[in-house]
Chains A and B, each alone.
Chain A
């Protein structure tokens, strides 16, 4: 298990390789479908300090408000591939070092990992309370009224958020390797 403190330098991220198990400490920011569309259309300024050398988490959490503070009740990853049209531009613009989600992403994002110096971190899909318990504090929420709970930008301070690198800055992707392998199997099983 490799321990990473956020924000993190490009140099340190470039050391990471597919298969590395990571434990994250510091701030990660949730952003999913509506947030990505908004970022590439408006390039909001408030995101800049949050994402520079930081981490985007594809997640729409279940949150509970007690008094003035928000608590993450359930916060597993959502499917990342939906952000494929946007992610490369977002990574480049804000200099994001970690994209966290599930299911992996495509060639554009893989190329951005190489160009920007970033990795894709695969969290365990559905492991929602387990990952929520690594959120020690909800630091802030942005655009909650406009986007709603699942789509808002949540700033989470995490301590020991676990994931595995499945796309690295050296052009390697576990997902494309597995796709090629399973396609051969499919063709053999189907008989085409």
Chain B
């Protein structure tokens, strides 16, 4: 499966998903003619076209590589890990990935994107015969402006309710300013513990940017927050403008009575994700992850299917 995983990495790094491009183009058209934010988005669009045509990374920060692998019972996780690591090393040699894994104590770059905790791999066994791998490359600039709140929070008057969650998200997007390479996609994880809360937030980033949450309460909050984050006026790259975020995606997990975390995972405009399904040795690539399929897909994506 090494070969298929290598191709998955290439696609994730070099080809921005169609749903994201579409929203970036809408954002570009909305910004005023001659404004820096419009020109920034023009460059983004041209850059993505160039990256895709020349099989080069959309962004030089090829990010944390986050894998979700769904496999039948018969497939060994050890073997899958070996294949993912081998594909990662090869992708680095081919410059689809930048050497991006640094020993935090010595400062030494491993040179091949592997090492303790790199890449990040989540396994799920399932009853199907196919193997599916979903991959997200999440850049460091956007990771640095991601945030976690423990409610109640006095500074922004956020209590343990929907209104509290709303305040956290607006505050986090404000704090990020232009440093997360906006327009961003905002993944929100409510509940869980400190670790799983952020995992939930990051899993939200696998959703299609213009999908709909089947939970009407969360769908309404996502819509409200999308509009309110854009009212901040931070705009593309922090140049000022109408599109500060492309979407807000919210998921919730059960929590302890004592804890109430709201985690905000900021994803830069270079929302690089790709998926592959392998059945009987044949790989089929897609831009729709398993995570995305849990939500109401926009009409265009639903027609194309997996």
A contact residues vs B (CB 8 Å cutoff): 19, 21, 34, 59-64, 73-76, 78-79, 81, 102-104, 122, 124-130, 132-133, 148-151, 162, 164, 166, 174-175, 178-179, 181-183, 185-186, 189-192
Q: Does B191 contact A (CB under 8 A)?
A: no
Whether the Cβ atoms of B238 and A103 lie closer than 8 Å is yes
Per-residue CB proximity of B172-190 to A under 8 Å, as 1/0? Answer: 0010011101000000000
Whether the Cβ atoms of B181 and A125 lie closer than 8 Å is yes
Whether the Cβ atoms of A192 and B232 lie closer than 8 Å is no
Whether the Cβ atoms of B167 and A60 lie closer than 8 Å is no
- Which of the listed residues A21, A129, A185 has the most CB atoms from chain B within 10 Å of its own CB? A129
Whether the Cβ atoms of B58 and A129 lie closer than 8 Å is yes
Question: Which chain A residues border B228 with CB–CB below 8 Å?
Answer: 189
Cα distance, A44 to B54, chains bound together (Å): 37
A-B contact count (CB 8 A): 167
Minimal Cβ-Cβ distance residue in B for A191: B157
Whether the Cβ atoms of B170 and A62 lie closer than 8 Å is no
Q: Does B251 contact A (CB under 8 A)?
A: no
Nearest CB on A from B183, distance (A): 11
Cα distance, A121 to B167, chains bound together (Å): 33
Question: Other than the known A76-B60, A126-B268, A178-B177, what 14 A-B pairs have Cβ atoms closer than 8 Å?
Answer: A59-B60, A60-B98, A61-B60, A73-B60, A76-B59, A78-B140, A102-B178, A124-B43, A125-B181, A126-B269, A129-B57, A150-B100, A186-B232, A189-B231
Question: Which chain A residues border B100 with CB–CB below 8 Å?
Answer: 150
Closest 6 CB pairs of A and B: A148-B109, A103-B179, A125-B181, A74-B60, A130-B47, A127-B47
* Given A76-B60, A128-B56, A129-B56, residue A186 in contact with residue B181 (CB < 8 A): no
Question: Which chain A residues border B239 with CB–CB below 8 Å?
Answer: 122, 164, 166, 174
Whether the Cβ atoms of B47 and A128 lie closer than 8 Å is yes
Question: Which chain B residues border A19 with CB–CB below 8 Å?
Answer: 36
Per-residue CB proximity of B42-55 to A under 8 Å, as 1/0? Answer: 01101100110010
Q: Does B144 contact A (CB under 8 A)?
A: yes
- Which of the listed residues A78, A125, A151 has the most CB atoms from chain B within 10 Å of its own CB? A125
Whether the Cβ atoms of B43 and A148 lie closer than 8 Å is no
Minimal Cβ-Cβ distance residue in A for B40: A124
Question: Which chain A residues border B61 with CB–CB below 8 Å?
Answer: 60, 76, 78
Question: Which chain B residues border A129 with CB–CB below 8 Å?
Answer: 47, 50-51, 54, 56-58
B contact residues vs A (CB 8 Å cutoff): 36, 39-40, 43-44, 46-47, 50-51, 54, 56-62, 95, 97-100, 102, 107-109, 111, 139-141, 144, 156-157, 167, 170-171, 174, 177-179, 181, 228, 231-234, 237-240, 268-270
Cα distance, A62 to B239, chains bound together (Å): 26
Cα distance, A186 to B230, chains bound together (Å): 11
* Given A76-B60, A190-B157, residue A126 in contact with residue B47 (CB < 8 A): yes
Whether the Cβ atoms of B98 and A150 lie closer than 8 Å is yes
28 of the cross-chain contacts (CB-CB < 8 Å) are: A61-B60, A63-B95, A74-B57, A74-B95, A78-B61, A79-B140, A103-B179, A104-B178, A125-B141, A126-B44, A127-B44, A127-B59, A128-B47, A130-B43, A130-B47, A148-B108, A148-B111, A164-B36, A175-B177, A183-B174, A185-B233, A186-B171, A186-B174, A190-B157, A190-B167, A190-B170, A190-B171, A191-B167
